[in-house]
Amino acid sequence: MAPYVTALLKEMAYYELLLKGRQVTTLFFGGGTPSLLSGDQIQALVEAARDRFEWAADVEVSLESNPGTLDLEKLKQYYQAGVNRISMGVQSFDSKELRWLGRTHGVDEVFEGVANIKQAGFDNFNLDLIFGLPEQTLNDWQQTVEQALKLGSTHISLYHLTIEPESTFGDIKKLPDPSQEMGATLFNWTKQNLEAAGFEQYEISNYARKGYRCRHNETYWQNRDSIGIGAGAWTYFQGKRYLRPKTIEAYIKDVENQTFERIEEETLDLNDSIKETLVFGLRTKDGVDLNRLEKRYSRSLDKETVTAIDRLIDQGLLLQEKDQLRLTNKGFLFADTVAVELI
């Protein structure tokens, strides 16, 4: 991994001038399994970011991990390096479901990982869970969520299983598809019970205890600039979105040659930017302040979008109170439909 870390450090240097005068508020180690990196490597990356960019006083530094990759000594090194938030890809507390998902960890490794996280000094950690698995019952899901609550996490992310054609599961035929009714049952039970346990659903898929929202993810939902560094990393900066080389080998070669290639680069026009910001913002509990949206882009929503909003309000999917537009409870269940109507 050393050549890859060296390339990451060089790409940071490339962005130093571009980000001059811009304050870094979050740093997120994600994609793949960054917890495979050593404590020294994470420390080198955090220190480089701190040295090269204007660093906010309370930067959120998150690191994604998988159970089985988090021994206590490594976690202590991460903590000392400045990481202050851990996200663990648990997915399920059901051994059968973990095997179906192809996960290499077992339930015991989740318990061990959480114990190590706490012992290392972290008081802010997230657990990722997946629902909507074939033949998953409400009771199965309830046991997973209840076990997650017992572990004392400050944040829980819940994702619906999606099968992509090119994925490991893409060639599996006739998978039982959970009914829309079952999806609504799981969603409503989860919301009710997590809120009763002191969590706030601040975004469709994310719940947090007070003061523990993931600020990095909020950057995406607010459609703010974010720089992606590394193989397969996406950047959204100054109205442009682009991807870096997808494989580690191609990425290292790109950096060594100082090419810094932007793959699939897209320039968003003003109207597209407004619509994206609207749709992303509607994923959150707070929704979108339409007055602020218009001031941010110095442009009003086009007639087509206003008509779509009125139609979605009539269908009971959106609610507008003065300038604040947000999803209704029903709208949360049909957020993808809302997004399609507004884009």
Other CB atoms within 10 Å distance of the CB of residue 211? 8
**Distance, CA of 61 to CA of 46 (rounded, Å):** 8
Report pLDDT digits (tens) over 300-320: 999 999 999 999 999 999 999
For the purposes of burial, counting CB atoms within 10 Å of the CB of 50, is it exposed (0-12), middle (13-18) or buried (19 or more)? middle
The CATH T-level fold of domain 23-211 is Transcription Regulator spoIIAA (3.30.750)
Q: Taking the alpha carbons of 3, 4, 10, 14 in that order, is the dihedral positive or negative?
A: positive
Residue that has been written with the tokens 């607010």 in this structure = 222
Residue 165 has pLDDT above 60, yes or no: no
Report pLDDT digits (tens) over 249-282: 999 999 999 999 999 999 999 999 999 999 999 9
Q: What is the model's pLDDT at position 173?
A: 43
When mean pLDDT is compared across 47-56, 76-85, 92-101, 215-224, the lowest value belongs to 92-101
Which pair of tokens denotes residue 106? 């077992």
Q: What is the model's pLDDT at position 138?
A: 92
pTM for this structure? 0.91
Q: Mean pLDDT over all residues of the chain?
A: 92
Percent of the chain with pLDDT over 70: 95
**Distance, CA of 224 to CA of 64 (rounded, Å):** 21
Helices (H), 82-214: 95-101, 107-119, 138-150, 180-196
Q: What is the model's pLDDT at position 32?
A: 76
Domain boundaries, the chain: 23-211, 286-342
Q: What is the model's pLDDT at position 178?
A: 53
Is 320 strand, coil or helix? strand
Beta-sheet pairing, 54-65 with 155-160: unpaired
**Distance, CA of 86 to CA of 123 (rounded, Å):** 9
Residue 160 has pLDDT above 90, yes or no: no
Residues 268 and 307 sit within 8 Å (Cβ to Cβ): no
Report pLDDT digits (tens) over 30-82: 987 898 899 999 999 999 999 999 999 999 999 999 998 889 999 999 999 99
Residue 227 has pLDDT above 60, yes or no: yes
Residues 30 and 42 sit within 8 Å (Cβ to Cβ): no
Q: What is the model's pLDDT at position 147?
A: 95
Confidence of residue 172 (pLDDT cuts 50, 70, 90): very low
